Amino acid sequence: MLLSIQWYPPAWVQIKTINHVIYIDPSYLKKYYLDHPPKVEFSTWPDEIDGLPNANMETGDLVLITHQHKDHVKKVTLDRITDENTVILASEKVKDMIGDEVRTVSPVDNLEIHNVKIKVTNAYNTPEGSSTRKLHHPGDGVGYLLEIDGYKIYHAGDTDLIPEMDDLGPVDVAFLPIGGTYTMNIDEAVDATLKIKPSLVIPIHHLNADPHEFARKLRGKNIKIRILDIGEVLILGECFFNWKKI
């Protein structure tokens, strides 16, 4: 089965198959798209900035939100890519922001929606972790492990390296934050990658971190690393990880 992935800063991911359009952490913040020509803006300051990174972004069947911070969820962005049939999953704190259309989840929940299996995972900062600002407390945010069309895809959310990563099982694609301020830094993300052992790891939530340094530190570890440009389409084919840009 063909599956496509796109990444937008800081942690917004679109996953598409022939039957699904899934978004994780959609939030349009203008500062991330200043040099991204395909963007479209519907309103600007002093109104709440409302936009999309591309003009033709499809409506999602499923939206997964890891936590309540504005770089991971904005209601105006959600309104642009959802309709009455979209299922939105998020923590209780996100429901307080967005409203009753959110279906609340918590770590260790296991769900199946639209034939997508979803394991809700922990995501948090630890006292000993590399993150320099401990804003993500246990239970406030989550990550997601999806099983779709034979692929297992892990989006870690904003987190440090945590013991629960031992329990993920086989992972095909892992989206891991490497920024170091609110999340793991590069070295801790390398340790997380070696713990999870995904077939492919894609660094997200870069902030001021260099994803190429992350890739260099994983060289020779038998794990594929892909640094995505904003909006780049990564195609996963039946011959695993035959990718191309389109």
Residue 82 lies in a domain: yes
Residue 36 lies in a domain: yes
The C-alpha atoms of residue 112 and residue 123 are separated, in whole angstroms, by 20
In a domain, 242, yes or no: no
Could you count the other beta carbons within 10 Å of the beta carbon of residue 50? 18
- The count of other CB atoms within 10 Å of the CB of residue 103 is 12
Is 88 within the bounds of a domain?
yes
Q: What's the pLDDT at 243? A: 43
**Successive 10-residue mean pLDDT values, the chain, 246 residues:** 93 95 96 93 88 94 96 95 96 87 93 96 95 91 96 97 95 97 96 96 94 96 94 78 40
Q: Is residue 150 part of a domain?
A: yes
How confident is the model at residue 239, as a pLDDT?
A: 54
For 105, 109, 167, 173, 188, the CA distances from 197, given in Å and listed in that order, are 26, 23, 12, 10, 14
CATH number at residue 49: 3.60.15.10
**What is residue 172's predicted lDDT score, i.e. its pLDDT?**
95
Q: Could you tell me if residue 61 is inside a domain?
A: yes
CB distance 177 to 184 below 8 Å: yes
Domain count, the chain: 1
In a domain, 46, yes or no: yes
Cis, peptide link before residue 9, omega less than 30° from 0: no
Structure pTM?
0.94
DSSP3 helix / strand / coil % (the chain, rounded to 5)? 15, 30, 55
Q: Residue 162: which domain range?
A: 3-236
